[in-house]
């Protein structure tokens, strides 16, 4: 109770405290006696990403100053402390402050000179202490034998929650429009889970929320939940979420990038189609508004690579030639499954892959209808012939296109070799850009169940 009273008076004090002089630059003085002659690093959070922006080495008293001309307004900053500690600061309008800390009790850190930063430090300290009390009470509840005692303990837990909510609402009411208020509202938003109700209750077009780790992490968890729950509606759900930020083009970009990177990092091959959907729908506007952003450039490059060769698409037919210059048309080849193997004769990884595919795949499943079209990317016939002779793969359908009339590089992603595609009997791409051993596992599974 005493802690809550102190915190309440702190709020009243900061509400009426005169605002310090403001400028675009920052000055963060650190006082930490335990960190004498130590290197500290200052990070800022922008668009959900942490960027290192400043360093200092403390003096013999543990004092040091981060100082710069750029603005840190309305974002979270993090001070990395040796050996592996971190302290987060909410930076509002005022960017000149003094931070007094003790590494053994970081929750008791005090900030002077910047009202919102000071309030947040006090709020965070109280939150940590109340969490400890709640955890202790929860442990008592779990072992309580007496029902009356258990109910009394539950009442205490609810009272702590009520007082904390009251304190947060007091901050909100006394600091309307501030970054601190916006952040606390995001914490206590209705249905504070990774649900649609949560994202309805906060403003995803507010740039300040993207300068925290909290909301981007909420988005990440929501994406994982949606993909697990309703994978067939994932694209539709992503568009719904992006629309929540579309009144602010920068926030919309942050959200599109978050979803795109999520799809890039997913092990599910189907996520390639999600990325292409995003590329088709949003790339034109992104290229116009953020033409040099790395992820926008990455989207553009990938869109061209996978336009015609995505999982689930019918593979584009290729018109090639064999060793005797006889024409080969890949979509007329009768096979239960067809492997397209694009290679360079001098590619070391290609040389390693051929014996695996030939012996463990082709020889085992050829009688069951498996066929392999090995497409040589070189235009030197002697190199091609030597490769076939040395590798002993003359039972494959060996083909090439020395005049480049089939445009194979337009229809298939061959940015890395070997490039391996697996097609079913209808010519649908069911696997792509996989390792030889992965292909063998797929073939083994396919033919063992047929």
Helix (H) or strand (E) holding 410: helix 408-411
Cα angle: 355, vertex 356, 361; to 5 degrees:
110
Cα separation, 310 vs 272, whole angstroms? 7
Task: Note whether 22-125 and 319-448 share their fold.
Answer: no
17-31, 148-162, 205-219, range with the lowest pLDDT:
17-31
Cα separation, 184 vs 105, whole angstroms? 23
Specify the length of the chain in residues: 450
Q: Are strands 370-376 and 397-400 parallel, antiparallel or unpaired?
A: parallel
Cα separation, 397 vs 326, whole angstroms? 12
Q: Does domain 22-125 have CATH number 2.30.30?
A: no
Map residue 111 onto helix, strand or coil.
strand
Write out the two tokens for 73. 């307004």
Average model confidence (pLDDT) across the chain: 91
Cα separation, 393 vs 347, whole angstroms? 16
Using CA atoms of 144, 145, 147, 148 in order, give the dihedral in degrees to the nearest 10: -70
Cα separation, 358 vs 371, whole angstroms? 10
What confidence score (pLDDT) does residue 135 get?
87
Write out the two tokens for 126. 């109280």
What confidence score (pLDDT) does residue 421 get?
97
**Which pLDDT tens digit goes with each residue over 109-155?**
999 999 999 999 999 998 888 888 888 888 888 888 888 888 888 89
Write out the two tokens for 361. 């795949």
Cα separation, 185 vs 173, whole angstroms? 11
Cα separation, 295 vs 323, whole angstroms? 43
Whole-prediction pTM = 0.83
Cα separation, 129 vs 102, whole angstroms? 16
Mean predicted confidence (pLDDT) in 252-273? 94
Q: Report the b/e string of 31-62 with b at 16+ CB within 10 A.
A: bbeebeebebbbbbbbbbeeeebbebebeeeb
Cα separation, 286 vs 282, whole angstroms? 6
Helix (H) or strand (E) holding 199: helix 196-201
CATH of 319-448, one of 3.40.50.20, 3.90.950.10, 3.30.390.10, 3.40.30.10: 3.40.30.10
Select from 415, 414, 430 the least CA-distant residue to 375. Answer: 414
Mean predicted confidence (pLDDT) in 348-355? 94
The neighbour count for residue 349, using CB atoms within 10 Å, is 13
Strand partners, 98: 29, 112
* pLDDT higher than threshold 90 for residue 47: yes
| pLDDT band (50, 70, 90) for residue 194 | low
> With DSSP H G I counted as helix, E B as strand and the rest as coil, what are the percentages for the chain, rounded to 5?
50, 20, 30
* pLDDT higher than threshold 60 for residue 14: no
Tell me the domain boundaries of the chain. 22-125, 138-179, 189-306, 319-448
Mean predicted confidence (pLDDT) in 260-269? 93
What confidence score (pLDDT) does residue 192 get?
54
Cα separation, 46 vs 76, whole angstroms? 8
Q: Are strands 429-432 and 337-343 parallel, antiparallel or unpaired?
A: unpaired
């Amino acid at each position: 109770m005493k802690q809550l009273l102190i915190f309440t008076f702190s709020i009243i004090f900061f509400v009426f405290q005169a605002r310090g002089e403001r400028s675009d630059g920052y000055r963060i003085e650190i006082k930490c006696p335990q960190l004498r002659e130590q290197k500290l690093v200052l990070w800022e959070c922008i668009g959900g990403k942490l960027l290192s922006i400043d360093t200092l080495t403390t003096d013999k008293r543990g004092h040091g100053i981060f100082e710069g001309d750029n603005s840190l307004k309305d974002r979270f900053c993090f001070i990395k402390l040796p050996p592996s500690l971190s302290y987060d600061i909410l930076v509002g309008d005022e960017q000149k402050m003094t931070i007094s800390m003790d590494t053994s009790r970081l929750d008791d850190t005090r900030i002077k000179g910047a009202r919102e930063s000071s309030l947040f430090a006090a709020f965070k300290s109280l939150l940590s202490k109340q969490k400890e009390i709640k955890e202790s009470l929860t442990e008592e509840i779990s072992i309580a034998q007496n029902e009356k005692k258990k109910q009394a303990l539950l009442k205490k837990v609810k009272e702590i929650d009520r007082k904390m909510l009251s304190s947060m609402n007091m901050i909100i009411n006394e600091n309307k429009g501030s970054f601190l208020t916006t952040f606390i509202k995001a914490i206590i938003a209705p249905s504070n889970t990774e649900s649609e109700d949560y994202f309805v209750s906060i403003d995803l077009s507010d740039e300040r929320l993207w300068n925290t780790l909290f909301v981007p992490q909420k988005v990440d968890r929501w994406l994982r939940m949606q993909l697990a729950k309703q994978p067939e509606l994932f694209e539709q759900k992503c568009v719904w979420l992006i629309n929540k930020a579309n009144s602010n083009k920068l926030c919309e970009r942050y959200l599109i990038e978050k979803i795109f990177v999520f799809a890039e990092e997913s092990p599910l091959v189907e996520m390639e189609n999600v990325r292409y959907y995003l590329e088709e729908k949003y790339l034109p506007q992104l290229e116009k508004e953020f033409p040099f952003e790395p992820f926008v450039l990455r989207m553009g490059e990938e869109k061209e690579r996978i336009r015609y060769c995505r999982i689930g698409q019918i593979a584009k037919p290729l018109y090639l030639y064999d060793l005797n210059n006889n024409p080969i048309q890949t979509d007329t080849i009768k096979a239960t499954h067809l492997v397209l193997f694009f290679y360079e004769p001098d590619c070391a990884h290609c040389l390693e892959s051929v014996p695996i595919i030939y012996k463990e795949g082709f020889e085992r499943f050829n009688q069951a209808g498996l066929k392999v079209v090995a497409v040589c990317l070189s235009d030197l016939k002697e190199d091609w012939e030597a490769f076939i002779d040395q590798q002993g793969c003359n039972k494959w359908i060996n083909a090439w296109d020395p005049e480049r009339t089939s445009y194979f590089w337009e229809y298939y992603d061959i940015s890395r070799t070997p490039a391996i595609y697996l097609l079913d009997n209808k010519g649908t791409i069911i696997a792509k850009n996989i390792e030889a051993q992965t292909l063998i596992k797929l073939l083994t599974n396919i033919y063992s169940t047929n």
